[in-house]
Amino acid sequence: DIQMTQSPSSLSASVGDRVTITCRASQDIRNDLGWWQQKPGKAPKRLIYEASNLHPGVLSRFSGSGSGRDFTLTITSLQPEDFATYFCLQYNSYPWTFGQGTTVEMK
Amino acid sequence: QLLESGGALVQPGGSLRLSCSVSGFSFSNYAFSWVRQAPGKGLEWVSAISDNGRSSHYADFVQGRFTISRDNSADTLYLQMTRLRVEDTALYYCAKDRRVVRGVTITFPDYWGQGTQVTVSS
C-alpha cells in the first residue's frame, strides 16, 4: 500500500496568513492526488484534483502543487471560514490512502 | 448530492447494510468508494466499485466480510457488512470516484456524503 505522510498535524494561524500543508507519498503517484477540507458534521469538501487543479467553485486562494512523491496545499490569505481540517488523498491505486490530516486552528 | 443511510448500533458478529443515494449527476457514469473514519482516527478506505459494477476492490481488513454493490437503476450504492467487529465502529462515507471512458480518466474523485454512523458494541 502507498503510505501518505502529511505534515504538520496541526497549525495555528491568523486571518490573512499564508498556510502551507505538505503530503509525501511512499512511492511515485504521478499527480494522482487530491485535497479536501473537512469540518465537523459536514461532508468533506473538494478543493484540488490532479495535485494542482482547482475544482470548480473553489476560491483561488487555495492552490496545490507537486508531482511524484511530494505535494503541497497552500492557502494564501487565510479567511475565517478556512479554519478546518485538510487532508490529502492518493487515488493512484487502490487502496486509496490518506494523509493523517492537518487541523488549521485560529491563533 | 450523496446521502448515506443505514448506520446503526449492532452487536459484534452482526450485519448491516449501508446505502448511499445519489442525485444531481449521472450515477452510472462513475465509480464509487466507501471510506470510514473511526472516532479520533484518520480516514480509511474500505471498498470501491466500478461504474458498471463488474469490478470491485476491498481493503484487506474487510475482505470476505463486506460486499459493495450498486443499483444503477436506483442511483444507489450499497455496502453489505457482515461479521461486524468492534473495530468496525466508524462514520462511513460514500465518495464519488473517478469517471473513466475507454481507459482515460475524465473526472477525478470529488464529492462525499456526510456519512452514516456504525457502532458495533455489545
User: Is the dihedral angle over the CA atoms A75, A69, A45, B114 positive or is it negative?
Assistant: negative
Contacting residues of A for B110, CB less than 8 Å apart: 34, 46, 49, 55
Give me the pLDDT at residue B63, please.
Answer: 80
Rounded Cα–Cα distance for residues A49 and B109 (Å) = 8
Give chain B's contact residues with A (Cβ, < 8 Å): 2, 33, 35, 42-45, 48, 57, 59-60, 93, 97-98, 108-115
Contacting residues of B for A94, CB less than 8 Å apart: 45, 48, 57
Rounded Cα–Cα distance for residues B81 and A95 (Å) = 18
Give me the pLDDT at residue A33, please.
Answer: 97
β-strands B9-10, B116-120 pairing:
parallel
Residues A36-94 have pLDDT tens digits of 999 998 999 999 999 999 999 999 999 999 999 999 999 999 999 999 999 999 999 99
Q: Are B59 and B46 in contact (CB under 8 A)?
A: yes
One-letter amino acid for residue B51 of the chain: D
The grid coordinates listed for A94 are 487502490
Contacting residues of A for B1, CB less than 8 Å apart: none
Mean pLDDT of B82-111: 94
The chain A residue lying nearest B113, using CA atoms, is A43
Which among B44, B108, B113 is the nearest to A43, CB-wise?
B113
Contacting residues of A for B109, CB less than 8 Å apart: 34, 46, 49, 89, 91, 96
**C-beta atoms of B93 and A91 within 8 A:** no
Where is average pLDDT lowest: A49-58, B29-38, B81-90, B101-110? B101-110
pLDDT confidence band for B12 (50 / 70 / 90): very high
The chain A residue lying nearest B48, using CA atoms, is A94
Give me the long-range contacts of B61-70 (CB less than 8 A, separation at least 24).
Answer: B68/B34, B70/B27, B70/B32
Residues B52-77 have pLDDT tens digits of 999 999 999 998 899 999 999 999 99
Rounded Cα–Cα distance for residues A25 and A67 (Å) = 10
